[in-house]
Chain A
């Protein structure tokens, strides 16, 4: 009786095994890579409800980061500005621009005649307070996971500039996710903080570069680290609570 299986079939199990390993390996690698923050996050640029242009306001007009993100040096969170912050300029500048409709609605709220007083008929929810309108639903660009507790205040107060994590926002028309902000990204810097440290008065100067004319510009980070006793946590408790 002739052999049922031809001779080449002898190596078939091995081939299948190798094939599966390759495919499995490829899928695993692919998942690891494409799902990693390094691949999945940079470039994320959602459309915002109000097209606020950082490159214009910061890059050209020269607004300080803290004008809007006013609590970045006090709080773990860098807050987004309330509509009242926008309106401090925009109730005179571009005061009827349709692009700012959402901001105006949020700011004035119940104040229909915009005289900043509670007039008859304005107190819609009957609480005797002139309430603001619905918040502007800004779309979140940067998000650390719920189990990672990033604190803005300590970073900006100890010589880490916004640019280290957010990129050069002064050149962005629409804000996009620039760096990976994965754990490896954090640890890179926490292990070698000298690469990112800068003088305190340059923290919000996103375009600042050490002066190449300065004889010790190369060792500046090292010196700051030493003089300020910068010792970023590299153990779990630093970020995970």
Chain B
């Protein structure tokens, strides 16, 4: 069925593409078309007018100065400073690695940290904790930058009164006096003069022991408060289970064993505390070696309000407002229990609101059926988001119990509850005037728990002391600010989330400044003479009989958690569901507000971390800001009621027939978002609006952690503060209103979404398991390649190894050692000859495993000295990330410019693909980018003159240009040139000494972490040569080495991105070795090259994504293939013009004609 206009224009589809990256992309506005055609986004390559004037002025000045300094021809004298006494383990130039862990409220993340001459530079996951497999989250990767935060409190500070804005630095001894004063206050505390602590929770047993000691004094209040509280599930289950020791019951998921996973609004791949384990296990369940494995693949059902990373991986996703998730959970529980044949008392009430919820019954029934069918192998599991009410967690337990999941796919472990006061208890005591001294430990309650603090604190007669990392909102309430230390400067410890390991927190460096660690502080206020190191050692001795040094070396000590294994009666579990309120009717005037921790700043603690601020949110692709996310349908309703434009204009391509640049929502490549007010009761918060498909219609989402009132230079003025809406820690708020008003104006958002857009080609290839089983080669029949000649021409049947070794490569004028012609001009055939590269490097990225978490982006930034550029420069498209996490949306076919509500999401990490015949090389006038003999596309910075031809010619748009001296100048001073302020020198301590710091005017890009490759090659050669020498005793020409021995063993080299990847999606290695892991992946029939038809022969290839829909579900994709796949076909044809839009491709070639009929309706 063709739409009437389908033949009317050749370049675009009549009904709007189904495969798109942003709203403007979707609307195909002329402005966007112009945008796509440019090399860099508009403004990226132009100097501002005032900037140009300044530039001329400076040029004139610098010529003048040049004459004066000509006499200094001799290079400056440098000194080398050796130690007075050589420390044992430090070898200049060789990094040391120490194990430690990132403290977290519910569990630590085990780490190995690289240190250059006692200077921590790079954080990596600790692979000896197998459950995380060496993966880390983006925040752990970024945490090293906080150590060198120039805005951290270097010294403790005091001031005359709490209202005095002037802080005075304290000496160490003055600081010690204050600590002693605290100790005295504790020993002298009385019921009318108590000492109160307000801390954030911690997983450290040493701290717990100290706190217990403090609580031994009845006049000490220890209160804990977490900005983002993940304790709901364990508390709820603890209440239901009623164990003897009154423990919390914490769910630990083992998704590798699960074949059917149902998530109730749980972002277990994104924000939930154990997401590293979940990502790893979930990806393991998506592992498909060949088409024979598809039956083993897991299936994920997600019901959620926000579009999360977990929802993006879903095979079936249902959008549902958070306030209705509870009702949904009841229905699902009823369905699962009845299908599992369990007669539970009280189950009848679960179906009370079946009708009013408006869920298609078949969706529920079929999903439940699928879960129950796999329950006999204990291969189903249900997860619930930690922000949901107690009832949902009880129901989830009931379902898991009914599905035989307990002990298999989910384990419940007992966690000690502790007897800490809450922030409300503390407030009561404060109001009663019983508190003499108040100590704020870490956290940032003045920001994360807004209330009238100054009034509350008026009754504190003694001192208010703030123990924290930098002067922040909470310091503003205090008399004294005590500087604390970074976790890389302190001793501590912490359990894993699953309670199966104890990790050390080990300092890598003496405190840079006058800080004192949390444990040291607590020990000293308790009057203990032991320091943190001794305390941690003592704790370890209590927990394990092992050797403390081994504990530090391994970075973990295993232990067995107390498992909670006895069943709970269904009656008890369903008791919470007994009285239910009617689910409220949601509308544009009665919205659900979901508050989520920010991808960038988490709860606000990373607000001054430039890497996190600039790392694009994987789903919204925003940097440096948060936004109020609304659904397209709500946007349309609000647009008509308020008259404020939110959605892009309709253009001739989709509706009105007017050709006009659409400056409404995207102006010169900068997202222009209307500002709106969220109103909940009397609380009003103002922020920009971003339309996010995939959101539940009447849910709005705001992220916490932005809009800090008192923060360092980096976080200053970013985003808006949503904490006032977080009433009593509840992350779900009902009855919100969104007030849009023309007077509120619009603001620019630094959205990297549309930069380097790759239009409608088969960039990401997806199939369903069903299709893959039937047509294992579907990947090679997609997009352009369904029509173009095979991309490897006559070499297509060669093995990965042969392809890597025999193809001509590079296009530089240099003679390539690899392809040196023999004496008679022929290409040498013997690849064992020493003229050939010893290895051929390549990479495979499994899109089926990638969850889009973006930790690779930060890992790369940290390893390769990649600078941040600031919001202003991101708006101009000048961000510098070497790897970008592309996010594509796809949906069913729609009408006109309507933005779809339901979308499928695909992620793809894209960095330099190291093309064998690289287009960038042939256009470089100075041979700054050429190939090496091992297949790397080298970039010699010192040779580059900055013509930017290479970036222009790169089809993948992965080259980055240093428009300014990002490393040298402070953000905001770029245009001042040499007159601008220099960057603070402190963050430069983080720089990796093995990678050049690039200057203004040079191009840069991913190098496959060439520094790691070279280091590994050197180490292998040294090791082999030395071993052979000492084994044979020969040292001259009688010593013979085997060429194969000199090869770096597979798996030795892990580029930063691969190392950090929690789901093992990235594999790097030698593709001339058929036994290497990467060669095996590349030999898979899911392997494809992005834009392979261009003949670039990229060394990075991708493995197609598979979706695993349930054929009996009512929302089974209308195409047998995912939404994305049909799109490639159509766009490829419209581009070549060889077929009309309405053609059914299945007739012409082996495309994706599925069993459900044609692709078009």
Contact = CB atoms under 8 A, between A and B. Distances in A.
B79 A149 contact: no
Contact of B84 (A133, A151, A220): A133
Contacts of A173: none
A200 interface: yes
B1040 A132 contact: no
A224 B817 CA distance: 20
Given A71-B93, A75-B93, A140 B1021 contact: no
B77 A139 contact: yes
Nearest to B933: A235
A106 B80 CA distance: 14
A224 B85 contact: no
B92 interface: yes
Given A140-B79, A157-B1022, A200-B1035, A147 B941 contact: yes
Interface stretch (A8-16, A17-25, A79-87, A163-171): A79-87
A18 B1043 CA distance: 58
A236 B80 contact: no
Interface residues on B, range: 35 or more
Contacts of A199: 1035-1037
A205 to B, nearest CB: 12
A85 B1040 contact: no
A158 B1021 contact: yes
A79 B994 CA distance: 17
Given A75-B94, A227-B1041, A145 B942 contact: yes
A136 interface: yes
A237 interface: yes
A200 B1036 contact: yes
Interface residues on A, range: 35 or more
A143 interface: yes
B91 A235 contact: no
Most-contacted residue by chain B among A80, A81, A106, A240 (CB, 10 A): A240
Contacts of B58: none
A78 to B, nearest CB: 9
A147 B79 contact: no
Contact of A138 (B79, B931, B1011, B1022): B79
A100 B731 CA distance: 69
Contacts, number: 172
Interface in A69-119: 71, 73-77, 79-85, 106-107, 109
B77 A237 contact: no
Given A71-B91, A149-B1014, A157-B1026, A233 B932 contact: yes
A234 interface: yes
Given A139-B78, A234-B817, A132 B83 contact: yes
A201 interface: yes
A33 B1040 CA distance: 43
Most-contacted residue by chain A among B83, B86, B939, B1038 (CB, 10 A): B83
A83 B930 contact: no
Given A200-B1035, A240-B942, A147 B996 contact: yes
Contacts of A44: 74
Contacts of A227: 1037-1041
A7 interface: no
Interface in B994-1019: 994-997, 1007, 1010-1011, 1013-1014, 1018
A229 to B, nearest CB: 5
A220 B93 contact: no
B91 A149 contact: no
A204 B669 CA distance: 62
B838 A231 contact: yes
B85 A240 contact: no
A133 B85 CA distance: 9
A139 B92 contact: no
Most-contacted residue by chain A among B78, B84, B1041 (CB, 10 A): B84
Interface string A45-60: 0100000000000000
Interface in A208-241: 220, 223-231, 233-238, 240-241
Contacts of A157: 1021-1022, 1025-1026
B1029 interface: yes
6 closest Cβ contacts across the A-B interface? Answer: A132-B84, A235-B932, A199-B1036, A135-B81, A77-B93, A200-B1035
16 contacts: A40-B75, A75-B92, A76-B93, A82-B83, A83-B83, A136-B81, A140-B78, A149-B1014, A200-B1025, A223-B1037, A229-B1043, A233-B932, A233-B933, A235-B932, A236-B939, A240-B940
Given A139-B78, A235-B932, 16 more contacts: A73-B1022, A75-B93, A79-B92, A82-B85, A84-B85, A85-B86, A131-B84, A133-B84, A135-B83, A224-B1037, A228-B1041, A234-B817, A235-B816, A235-B817, A241-B995, A241-B1011
